[in-house]
Structure formats: C-alpha cells, structure tokens
C-alpha cells in the first residue's frame, strides 16, 4: 500500500494539512476493495482527484474510468446516458446505444453532484448497486454490470433525504465509506504552499517571473474564507501572474482581484489591514458594542424598577450605579433605608407577562456584593482577551486555538508575541 506522501507526489497534491492527510489515507485504504464510496466537500475542494486515486490503486485500474456530472445532464436524458436505450424508445433514438454502466463494465464510474440525480434515476441506480442489474430505456431485457461506484456531493445529502429529494436507502447504500475533503479555509497552513506552486506553474506557462506575496498580503490570503476553494485560489494566482507589473504582490493588488479579501474573522488594528477595510471593521464592531451596552442599560433599569416596585432596599454597592440610570417615566428610586434589612423578610409575588410567579425577597442574605465595573471599548483588549481565552480553552495548543479563532497559526503566533501572551 502506497504512503500518503507517495500519493501526493504521484497525483500532484500539495499541502501538509492533517485533515487532508486523513482523507487521503482513507482513500488509499478503501481503494483495494469494491466498497461504494461517498466523497463530500465544498465545490472546488478537489473531490474528483480522490475518485481517480481510488480507481488507480484498485484492481480495476487497467479498466475504464469515467466521470459523470449528474447535475449537467438533463433529467430527460440521464437514464439513457447511464443505462443506454433501444432504437425507437423515444424521439431521436435512431439506434441502440450503450450507457455508461454498460461501457465501463469492470471499471469505475464517478458520479459527481449525485444530489442532483432525478428520483427515478435514483431507483435505477439503487438496483445496480444492490444486484448489478439494469435495463436500457425502452427495453425489457435485464442486463448485468460489474462497476464500482464512487459518488460525490457538495451538499448535505441527509438534508435532501429529510425533505424527500433523495432516497434514504440509496444514501445509506452510497455512504458505505464516507470521505470528507476539507475546504481551503480548513487548510490555512496550505494556502501559501499552493500559492507558490500555482505561481511557479503560471510563470512557466506565460514565461514570466513567479510572483511572491509580501507579509501583509500573505496574512490576508491566509485569513480569507475562500468560498471557491482551490479553484478560486488558482484563478486568483493566474490573474495576478498575468495582470501584475511587479513581482511582489501587495494588499492593494489582492483587493483588485478579490474584493472581499479584507474581510477578517478577528478585529484588527488599522496597521494590519487596508485603511478602508479596517475602518469598516471598527464601524461594525462599535455598533455591536453600542447595541450591547444599550441592552445592558435596559437590563439594569429593569432591575432598579423591580426593586422600587417591591419596596426593597437598594444594596449599598448599587446606590451609585442607580444614580447613573434614570428611572422610567413616572418612577423614582427609593432612598437607602426604605426597608430595614434586619427587619422581618418581606416576600412579594408578582406576575410577569406570561403569568409565571416571581418570588422577591428583601432578605439581605439573598443579595451578593455587586461590583460595578466600567466596560472597555478597546479593540486591542478585546482581541487579546479572545486569543487568551482560546489558548486557555485548548491548553496552549496554537493549531486548535487558531482554528477556533478563524485565523492562521502564523497570525496567532504574531499576536501572541504582540500582546506578550504565554502559549
């Protein structure tokens, strides 16, 4: 059995991500069997290469391999494409035709975008998987085939099953061995490796000097979400290779090719992002903090009104805080000493809007000392606190912490040094 590293070299796969290595290891192990495989992953993440790996390492490697995009074939002709048809079975059927399952007998068929397959075709496919039998369109003769099926999807098939758009029995028949291909945002440590590979390829293709990233643009690339995955990254590198006049790529060069490149997962200093992008991030964050502060003020007001309505004494630690929050119209807060904490406890029951009883007491032992703290609006403090919590959550493991925060390990290491955090 070939090693993961050997398979990477053989098929031109670049990256050192652990999730990628796990997916490749599963593909290598299942290749020698005839088990049906379901490959899942986002569009552009490289699912088809996994099907080719499985076929090339299987006993069927000397037989045919064919890839079929189920979403690209019209519903009216997909049965004919897959299973064939008899002459005269429909308009335009001027001769007998073999389908893919007949022509690839003994080989492997890769069914991409399996979720787009029509319901009746799903029934025919299920029969092939269970018994190896199929019938051409317009025929009554049962034919046999020995084809290994590898399917792929970029959507959650179980969700399709729940809404009745995909057969449950077919799902479990296809999902004998699941392989999940990680998206590019789950392989952030591989982004610069892939960038350099594509840059070298396009430099050779267009006979130019390979482009490189400066530190800022490299950080932007690593923290971008890459919705188009490897396909989007490859296209971006090709455009930069052709359109850039300079060898070194800067942030403004990336912004022209990828308009959303400045969207980040953590609040950053203006120095760490383009002026415009950083401004918008701060604007959004300040709005969020302002809304949170308003909610907190409303909650405090409700508390003070509840104390007033039930003739309770304001705890000494809260007297100063009460003066900072004016009561609602028509209400005034009681002065200290309205109720004596040493007197008999006063128990009151009021009804909320849902008629659930709320039990209130002026017994002093029911109150804890409250410390009124001024909230900070410092972005640096908030970012430092988030990073500190993530490192503490994962016991100092930077890889896990960076994934939790949605940033690269390199960016996290830089932030740890910047804030003097121990990790």
C-beta separation of 6 from 23 below 8 A:
no
Tokens of 244: 């850039």
pLDDT above 90 (res 417): no
pTM of the model: 0.61
Average pLDDT over residues 103-131: 96
Per-residue model confidence as pLDDT tens digits over 282-295: 666 666 676 777 77
Each residue of 192-227: pLDDT tens digit? 999 999 999 999 999 999 999 999 999 999 999 999
Ordered by where they begin, the domains of the chain are 4-182 (3.40.50.300), 186-263 (1.10.8.60), 291-366 (no CATH), 379-419 (1.10.10)
Beta bridge partners of 142: 135
Q: Reduced to 3 states, what is the DSSP secondary structure of residue 10?
A: helix
Q: Which two tokens stand for residue 325?
A: 């929050």
Neighbours of 56 (CB within 10 A): 16
Tell me how far CA of residue 215 lies from CA of 212, 248, 270, in angstroms: 10, 10, 15
Give 375's pLDDT tier (boundaries 50, 70, 90): low
pLDDT mean over 84-91: 87
Whether the pLDDT of residue 274 is over 50: the answer is no
> What pLDDT does residue 320 have?
57
CB within 8 Å of 96: residues ≥ 6 apart? 84, 85, 86, 87, 136
What pLDDT sits at residue 30? 96
Per-residue pLDDT band for 48 (boundaries 50, 70, 90) equals very high
- Which region among 43-47, 124-128, 234-238, 336-340 has the lowest average model confidence (pLDDT)? 336-340
Is the distance from CB of 325 to CB of 301 less than 8 angstroms?
A: yes
């Amino acid at each position: 059995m070939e090693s993961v590293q050997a398979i990477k070299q053989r098929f031109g796969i670049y990256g050192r991500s652990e999730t990628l290595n796990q997916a490749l290891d599963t593909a290598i192990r299942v290749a020698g069997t005839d088990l049906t495989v379901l490959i899942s992953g986002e569009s552009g993440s490289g699912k088809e290469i996994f099907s080719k790996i499985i076929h090339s390492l299987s006993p069927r490697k000397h037989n045919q391999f064919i890839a079929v995009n189920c979403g690209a074939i019209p519903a009216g002709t997909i049965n004919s494409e897959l299973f064939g048809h008899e002459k005269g079975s429909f308009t335009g059927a001027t001769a007998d035709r073999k389908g893919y399952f007949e022509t690839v007998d003994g080989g492997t068929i890769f069914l991409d975008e399996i979720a787009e397959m029509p319901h009746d075709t799903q029934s025919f496919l299920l029969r092939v998987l269970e018994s190896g039998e199929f019938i051409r369109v317009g025929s009554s003769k049962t034919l046999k085939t020995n084809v290994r099926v590898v399917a792929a999807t970029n959507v959650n098939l179980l969700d399709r099953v729940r809404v009745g758009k995909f057969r449950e029995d077919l799902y479990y028949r296809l999902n004998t061995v699941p392989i999940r291909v990680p998206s590019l945002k789950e392989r952030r440590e591989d982004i610069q490796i892939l960038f350099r590979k594509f840059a070298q390829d396009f430099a050779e293709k267009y006979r130019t000097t390979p482009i490189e990233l400066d530190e800022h643009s490299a950080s932007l690339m690593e923290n971008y979400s890459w919705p188009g995955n490897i396909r989007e990254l490859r296209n971006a590198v090709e455009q930069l290779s052709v359109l850039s006049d300079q060898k070194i790529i800067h942030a403004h060069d990336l912004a022209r090719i990828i308009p959303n490149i400045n969207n980040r997962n953590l609040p950053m200093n203006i120095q760490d992002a383009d002026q415009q992008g950083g401004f918008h991030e701060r604007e959004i964050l300040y709005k969020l903090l302002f809304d949170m502060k308003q909610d907190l003020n409303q909650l405090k007001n409700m508390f003070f009104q509840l104390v007033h309505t039930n003739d309770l004494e304001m705890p000494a630690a809260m007297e100063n805080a009460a003066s900072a929050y004016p009561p609602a119209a028509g209400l005034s807060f009681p002065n200290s000493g309205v109720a004596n904490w040493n007197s008999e406890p006063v128990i009151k029951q009021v009804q909320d809007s849902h008629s659930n009883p709320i039990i209130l007491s002026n017994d002093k032992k029911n109150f804890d000392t409250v410390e009124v703290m001024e909230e900070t609006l410092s972005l640096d403090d908030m970012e430092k606190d988030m990073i500190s919590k993530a490192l503490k959550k994962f016991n100092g493991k930077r890889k896990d912490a960076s994934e939790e925060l949605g940033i690269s390990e390199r960016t996290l290491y830089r932030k740890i040094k910047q804030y003097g955090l121990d990790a």
